[in-house]
Amino acid sequence: MSARSFAGTADCACGPGKVWLVGAGPGDPELLTLKAVRVLGIADVVLVDDLVNRAILVHVREGARVIEVGKRGGCKSTPQAFIERLMIAEAKAGNTVVRLKGGDPFIFGRGGEEAEALHAAGIRCEIVNGITSGLAAASSAAVPLTHRERARGVAFVTAHAAGEDEPDWAALVKTRMTIVIYMGVSRVGALGKALIAAGLAESTPVLVVENASLPRERQLRTRVDRLAEDIAAREIASPAIMVIGEVARENGESTRDASGDLRSGESGTDDGRRSANGVRDGRAQSKNANVLVSMLSRGGASAGVSGSSNAL
């Protein structure tokens, strides 16, 4: 089955409803795409993952149903099969369904599995990309994932698996590419040893970012041989991203240290209002985003919500 056969509306089997697999980005509501805002505004049902910032839900229209289907590595989660059955049932009932996921649905978001299940059930589906947390984490520390002199490529991998399902660390190390690791905090001791055993220099720099893009984000600069020790000492917890490679070498541009205190490059002010629990208040952002979507609609850029995935 080609990717186009389930991601493109032209090739999907026609059913009474439709499902949108939408990436909510890494957490900062301002990093949500305009297309995601527009789609949330037409949804009848929104299935929300655990890592989605709830401030984003201000874009959901009044009267739409919001259903929590939390999924987080290492925690009790809603079964994937149940989520797929729920999407199919709601679409067959004639509803427009948004499956709202942290990051991007096609990068460790099970979007491929869900798109295949929808296609097999004859449900129309479309993908709306989001900024993946691996990219957002690096960018928040002014770390480029690729660099002409330091890294000619980047590999996104998950350390959540073990045994035969674990990545081939030796093969990755040989590429000399930047390695971005998701879901690795719980296995950081074994991870550091595996990388060194695979040939990675003990002094290789590592950037660790907890809660990337959020006000409570914390950053840790360390090296592979001290990775487990420093993460434990700073009490870094999931969700956290590890960026491993020469691009992560300290350049003086990071914005937060591991205590959460501001560092060079951040003034401590932002335009997003914050609620009492430290999460940006999405109301002002929602108003601005909706105004922009409206302007684009009048210009014809966003006409036909159910049209091509290239509409925006």
The CATH number of whichever domain residue 48 belongs to comes to: 3.40.1010.10
Which residue type occupies 137? Answer: A
Nearest to 125 by CA among 241, 3, 247: 3
Give domain status of residue 311, yes or no: no
Give domain status of residue 256, yes or no: no
Question: Do 101 and 220 belong to one domain?
Answer: no
Burial class from Cβ neighbours inside 10 Å (0-12, 13-18, 19+) for residue 30 reads middle
Examine the pLDDT at 146 and tell me if it is beyond 50: yes
CA distance 21 to 186: 28
Burial class from Cβ neighbours inside 10 Å (0-12, 13-18, 19+) for residue 218 reads buried
Q: C-alpha distances in angstroms, 178 versus 1, 77, 115, 252, 266?
A: 31, 31, 29, 19, 25
Question: Do 139 and 108 belong to one domain?
Answer: no
pLDDT at 285: 46
Active site residues: 49, 71, 183
Mean pLDDT (the chain) is: 82
Under 8 Å between Cβ of 33 and 105: no
Question: Do 123 and 138 belong to one domain?
Answer: no
Question: Do 89 and 183 belong to one domain?
Answer: no
| pLDDT 10s digits, 214-246 | 999 999 999 999 999 999 999 999 999 999 999
| pLDDT 10s digits, 282-292 | 444 445 555 55
Question: Do 105 and 26 belong to one domain?
Answer: yes
CB atoms within 10 A of CB 208: 27
Give domain status of residue 22, yes or no: yes
pLDDT at 279: 35
Question: Do 9 and 126 belong to one domain?
Answer: yes
What whole-number percentage of the chain has pLDDT above 90?
69
Lowest mean pLDDT among 166-170, 178-182, 207-211: 166-170
Number of domains in the chain: 2
Question: Do 207 and 114 belong to one domain?
Answer: no
pLDDT at 76: 66
Examine the pLDDT at 12 and tell me if it is beyond 50: no
Give domain status of residue 114, yes or no: yes
Question: Do 199 and 288 belong to one domain?
Answer: no
Question: Do 138 and 126 belong to one domain?
Answer: no
Give domain status of residue 268, yes or no: no
Question: Do 151 and 110 belong to one domain?
Answer: no
SS3 100: strand
| pLDDT 10s digits, 260-281 | 443 333 333 343 333 333 333 4
Residue 213, Ramachandran bin (φ over 0: left; ψ between -120 and 50: alpha; else beta): left
Question: Do 243 and 145 belong to one domain?
Answer: yes
Examine the pLDDT at 211 and tell me if it is beyond 90: yes
Examine the pLDDT at 15 and tell me if it is beyond 70: no
CA distance 134 to 139: 9
Domain assignment of residue 116, given as a range: 3-131+278-298
CA distance 48 to 52: 7
